[in-house]
Structure 1
Amino acid sequence: MRVETRLHGEAERLAALHELQILDTPPEAHFEAVCRTAERLFGVSAAYVSLIDADRMWLKTECDLVPGEVPRATSVCHHTIQTDAVLAVPDLQGDPRFRDNRLIRERNLRFYAGAPLILSEGIRVGALCILDPEPRDFPDADAAALADLAAIVVAHLRLHGTNARHRAEVEARLAHEALIAEQAGEIARREQVQANANRLLTMAEQLANIGHWRVDLPDGQPVWSEGLYRITGRDPGSAPPHLSVFAELYHPDERARLVALVEGAIARGRISRSRRGSGDRTGPAATWSCAAPAGRTPPAPPRACSAS
């Protein structure tokens, strides 16, 4: 027997089924309990919860009469999910839809009833089914009782999906927090390395009685070292003066070129290498230079102009 029919809105149905994250999960006691209740209530040999995937029927519960997974095209439950109504087949082997089904004949399956598992309107993801090797009728009252049990199964399915989503959200949050912690650790490590380098630079400046400054190109903000504050007699707590102001500390012959070079570098976002010794001219700096960072070439923007 082959069944090629596919439900209207099959993509939405499969999406809802997969969102539950229940396929291929181990048996769970509450689903098994519903099946045992159905077996006792209806006096049948077996009951099971089936879920209909794209090309297979998979059982959430264990059943001696039905394999844990069979092709969808050969499953009776494929017919069950076509409508919202309970499907009852008094004698599978006498029904033209199923009498040629090899599994039904090999296992001597006769009576079948299945209530679709309806997540929402038109979204039927599987069935709660009962089986027996003896043909029998299935009155409307029994069909209603089976539908009530199916509603309990649907409630458990929804709870399973909610718990799965919650676990995924928790795992994602923990992963995000771990990433933030890792990044914070890296930032702290780099800050410590920079602090150590700054301490060494400060010690070197104190020993040599020199200072240095730099201008960060992205914002043109000047930065002075402690040594330069000490040499110029300025308060270390005060902001460094603008380039046009502290350029006056240099020899008059050097000021215009220095300002033009730095302002040009800021405007262009790049620097041409330039270095000028002070020779016998007086001023707080022995040399000044502008250069791209080591290992980088234009057009990648350099980080600073500096003088020492």
Structure 2
Amino acid sequence: MMHDPTGRLLLTPVDKEAPARVRRLRELDIGTRPEPALDAFAGRLAELTGAPYAMVNFIDEERQFFAGLHTVDGGTGGTGSSVGRYMARDHGYCPHVVVRRKALVLEDVRDFPRFAGNPVVDEIGIRSYLGAPLVDRTGMALGTVCVVDVEPRRWGREGLTTIKTMAAELVGQIHRREDGGI
């Protein structure tokens, strides 16, 4: 991981798997366009967690793409939504989840100096994050499922269990699709 020379912020982690991830996402034909099924999945995730925003996020070398998106107004990032489908790779917390291959729970991002300086805090107003990696059968972390809120939130063990379960469910769907079952 790269660190800010001041020692305060954890910068976007080095992602040596990005080129291989891009190839795997192309193989699976996901992560390049919005998918109604993934929008529905994000909507279900938002409902289960009570979060205003939920995403199915695939990460390449340059940016993040929300192939599944649920916004506070119940939208999917289309016209009229302030949340778009793309985000710079150095914004947000999903790149950390992908590189770590572990779920990340931030009940109040301001409590963590290394995460509090992330651009999404000031630019979008994100205050809490809960995300889990989508690790497929090849061992590749393809992206994440995550929820965020503009208020601090106690996700608790239940939230962590939910996000991990939903990540596993989506990976199963991806595998079935790859095997020709969907």
The bucket for the TM-score relative to the shorter chain is 0.7 to 0.9
2:30 aligns to what?
Answer: 22
Q: CA RMSD in A?
A: 2.3
What letter corresponds to residue 54 of structure 1 in structure 2?
Answer: E
Aligned residues, how many? 161
Is 1:132 aligned to 2:132, yes or no? no
Matches within 5 A, 1:140-151: 140-151=157-168
1:230 aligns to what?
Answer: none
2:64 to 57, 67, 73: 57
More divergent stretch after superposition (146-155 vs 124-133): 146-155
Distance 1:97 1:161 in 2: 38
Q: Deviations over 1:172-191 (max 9, x none)?
A: xxxxxxxxxxxxxxxxxxxx
Rg larger in 1 or in 2?
1
1:91 aligns to what?
Answer: 108
Distance 2:31 2:129 in 1: 23
Matches within 5 A, 1:181-260: none
What letter corresponds to residue 15 of structure 2 in structure 1?
Answer: R
Is 1:13 aligned to 2:26, yes or no? no
1:180 aligns to what?
Answer: none
The structural deviation recorded for 1:38 is 1.7
2:98 aligns to what?
Answer: 81
Q: Deviations over 1:239-262 (max 9, x none)?
A: xxxxxxxxxxxxxxxxxxxxxxxx
Q: Work out which structure has the larger RCO, using CA pairs closer than 8 Å and 6 or more positions apart in sequence.
A: 2
The structural deviation recorded for 1:63 is 4.0
TM-score, length basis structure 1: 0.47
Identity of aligned residues (%): 26
What letter corresponds to residue 65 of structure 2 in structure 1?
Answer: W
SS in 1 for 2:141: strand
1:156 aligns to what?
Answer: 173
Is 1:118 aligned to 2:127, yes or no? no
The structural deviation recorded for 1:135 is 0.8
Distance 2:101 2:55 in 1: 18
What letter corresponds to residue 119 of structure 1 in structure 2?
Answer: D
Q: Deviations over 1:46-103 (max 9, x none)?
A: 1110001122111102344643111212231000112332111111233223322233
2:89 aligns to what?
Answer: 72
SS in 2 for 1:35: helix
* Contact kept in structure 2, 1:57 and 1:75, CA below 8 Å: no
The structural deviation recorded for 1:36 is 1.9
Q: Mark the runs of 5 or more structure 1 residues left unpaired by the alignment.
A: 164-308
Distance 2:100 2:87 in 1: 21
What letter corresponds to residue 85 of structure 1 in structure 2?
Answer: K
TM-score, length basis structure 2: 0.76
Distance 2:42 2:34 in 1: 15
- Kindly indicate which of the two structures has a greater share of residues assigned to helix: 1
Distance 2:111 2:54 in 1: 21
What letter corresponds to residue 161 of structure 2 in structure 1?
Answer: A
Distance 2:119 2:18 in 1: 27
Q: Deviations over 1:169-215 (max 9, x none)?
A: xxxxxxxxxxxxxxxxxxxxxxxxxxxxxxxxxxxxxxxxxxxxxxx
Distance 1:136 1:73 in 2: 23
C-alpha distance 107-138 of structure 1, shift in aligned 2 (>3 A):
same
* Contact kept in structure 1, 2:134 and 2:144, CA below 8 Å: yes
SS in 2 for 1:67: coil
